Chains A and B, each alone.
Chain A
Amino acid sequence: MKRFREYYRQFEEMPPEEVSLELRARREEEKRRALSRVDPLDLSGAAWHEPPHPEAVNAATFALRRALNAYPDPSGTPIREALAERHGIALDEVVLGHGAGELLRAACAALLRGGGDALVGWPGWQPLPELIEDAGGRAVPVAPTAAEMLAHAGAASRAVLLSSPADPTGAVVARGTLRELCAGVPEEVTVVVDEALGEFDPEGEDAAGLVAELPNLLVVRSFSKAHAMAGLRAGAALGPPGLVARLAPSGGIGAPAQAAALWAVSDRGLEIAARRRAAAAAAHERLAAALAGSPLSALPATVPFAWISSDAEDGPAIAARLAAQQVFVAPGRLWGDERHVRAALREPTAIDRLAGALLGGPG
């Protein structure tokens, strides 16, 4: 009889209250899992972490929808005029290109056509040695000081390449150093400053302002970093007219890139870039405050990334510890440095997470 009853009781449904309890428990478990999940935080890049200002996007979009069937203005005159006026140079001392990288490649090709040495301020923008080798030259890494550079400049030297602010350290080549360097190098040597991060320079320390004064100085700038337009590939070279003319791409740069760059060089665009510089400086202060009193430290800078080292562990150990906490940074070995890592500085929550991850281990 019991078995008979048990057989039919198995067809009884669960009461709604019991079903609700089960569903609620399942939902709680899902919520707990969602809260405990840690999303990866990629801090290995050096591009600005936010999209461009909406007005820049509007300008590019307007250009895209206007007359994309037509060739763009090959000269990019309005942008060049704005840049020339801002840096106190002539119009023919400015050209536009497809980002600072392409302009540096063209500069290497122009300056090292017949071979020769190029002194590279190191650590600097990571692809520079490769660009030099591709152009047929020989890259000679040198500490980015005037004394070191001049000591290494010889008869075979054709160019000196510096990054200011430097990626990855954020170190700025002072104007005094540049003046000394340009005056001290042999006549056939051109000093090239990669100023892709120029908008993050301290006030009055940008190399572009020296182009009018120093005839052997070439400055390459970018709209990728402080203007957050890395995807548009736009940059500018400022220097001797005979040299910069050889760097300009035939046909100029694309119409959307020109439209966004024209907005970027306007007062509004420069104001936005200045805000990003202030945000980057504040990010450095936040990170420094968080790391104070620990063996970890970041080089003081105003760029949107930090060059971090520790007295207690080497760079690969820091990177591995961060990776274990889903925070990914660029290892210093990309620059031949085993002591440091480079971490992009993003919004305050990301900085706090980076600091927490840095301090979470043996640090």
Chain B
Amino acid sequence: MPRNDPTDTGGLFIGRRPGTGPVRYRKPPDRGGARRRRTDALLAAAVLAAELLVVLSMFGPQPIAWLWVGSQVDYRTDSVFLGIIVAFLGLLASMILTLMLATRLDNLWRLLRRAAGHDQREGMLGRIFATAAIVAAIAFTVWLVLLEGPAPSVAPR
């Protein structure tokens, strides 16, 4: 069913469903040739992969890195509180910077996809973030419950 089919809305909206309008350019874009479009498609795939890695870094490498930094602070200053504060604020700052970077990559990916000839209306960031969060939550639960959590205390050694 087309995205702008009025029956898709159950008759709630006359005409197009809100937010499903075509992409409005300031002027009709002047696309490159087939070769350039293929190159843009490859670049888009590379940018998407980078975006995926950047987002994944928020669910593992970054928290681990900041826990290490926090532990170092704790070790050098002999202050657990300061270690926790540094780890927490550092993680928060890096998360924000990562999201800013991911958003820019997502915008770039959309432009490349459009340049490659696709009617790309939305980005992938939301979907990547949600998928990564679910996968990370499952992985963390498995690690916590089965590998490193209560398992050693309940399981026979």
Q: Are B115 and A7 in contact (CB under 8 A)?
A: yes
Interface flag for B23 (CB, 8 Å): yes
Q: Are A14 and B29 in contact (CB under 8 A)?
A: no
Interface flag for B127 (CB, 8 Å): no
Interface flag for B24 (CB, 8 Å): yes
Shortest C-beta distance, B144 to chain A (Å), equals 43
Shortest C-beta distance, B34 to chain A (Å), equals 16
Residues of B within 8 A of A7 (CB): 32, 115
Shortest C-beta distance, B115 to chain A (Å), equals 5
Please list the residues of chain B having a beta carbon within 8 angstroms of any beta carbon in chain A.
23-27, 29-30, 32, 108, 110-112, 114-115
Measured CB to CB, the nearest residue on chain B to A8 is B111
Residues of B within 8 A of A9 (CB): 111
- State the CA gap A11–B23 with chains docked (Å): 9
Measured CB to CB, the nearest residue on chain A to B112 is A8
Question: How many residues on A have C-beta within 8 angstroms of the other chain's C-beta atoms?
Answer: 9
Residues of B within 8 A of A10 (CB): 25-27, 29-30
- State the CA gap A48–B68 with chains docked (Å): 95
Shortest C-beta distance, B155 to chain A (Å), equals 56
Measured CB to CB, the nearest residue on chain A to B113 is A11
Q: Are A13 and B23 in contact (CB under 8 A)?
A: yes
Q: Are B24 and A11 in contact (CB under 8 A)?
A: no
Shortest C-beta distance, A47 to chain B (Å), equals 39
Number of A-B contacts (CB under 8 A): 28
Residues of A within 8 A of B108 (CB): 8
Residues of A within 8 A of B23 (CB): 13
Interface centre among A7, A9, A14 (most CB of B within 10 A): A7
- State the CA gap A12–B109 with chains docked (Å): 11
Q: Are B115 and A19 in contact (CB under 8 A)?
A: no
- State the CA gap A166–B110 with chains docked (Å): 79
Q: Are A12 and B111 in contact (CB under 8 A)?
A: yes
Which 3 pairs from chain A and chain B are nearest by CB? A11-B114, A10-B29, A14-B24
- State the CA gap A11–B108 with chains docked (Å): 10
Interface centre among B24, B25, B32 (most CB of A within 10 A): B24
- State the CA gap A12–B111 with chains docked (Å): 7
Measured CB to CB, the nearest residue on chain A to B108 is A8
Residues of A within 8 A of B112 (CB): 8
- State the CA gap A8–B115 with chains docked (Å): 7
- State the CA gap A56–B28 with chains docked (Å): 61
- State the CA gap A11–B44 with chains docked (Å): 14
- State the CA gap A283–B108 with chains docked (Å): 71
Contact with B along A5-48 (1 / 0, CB 8 A): 00111111110000100000000000000000000000000000
- State the CA gap A8–B112 with chains docked (Å): 7
Q: Are A14 and B26 in contact (CB under 8 A)?
A: yes
Residues of A within 8 A of B30 (CB): 10
Contact with B along A122-145 (1 / 0, CB 8 A): 000000000000000000000000
- State the CA gap A14–B121 with chains docked (Å): 12
- State the CA gap A9–B27 with chains docked (Å): 11
Q: Are B115 and A14 in contact (CB under 8 A)?
A: no
- State the CA gap A9–B29 with chains docked (Å): 9
18 CB < 8 A contacts A-B:
A7-B115, A8-B111, A8-B112, A8-B115, A10-B25, A10-B26, A10-B29, A10-B30, A11-B25, A11-B29, A11-B110, A11-B114, A11-B115, A12-B26, A13-B23, A14-B24, A14-B25, A19-B24
Shortest C-beta distance, A34 to chain B (Å), equals 20
- State the CA gap A12–B32 with chains docked (Å): 16
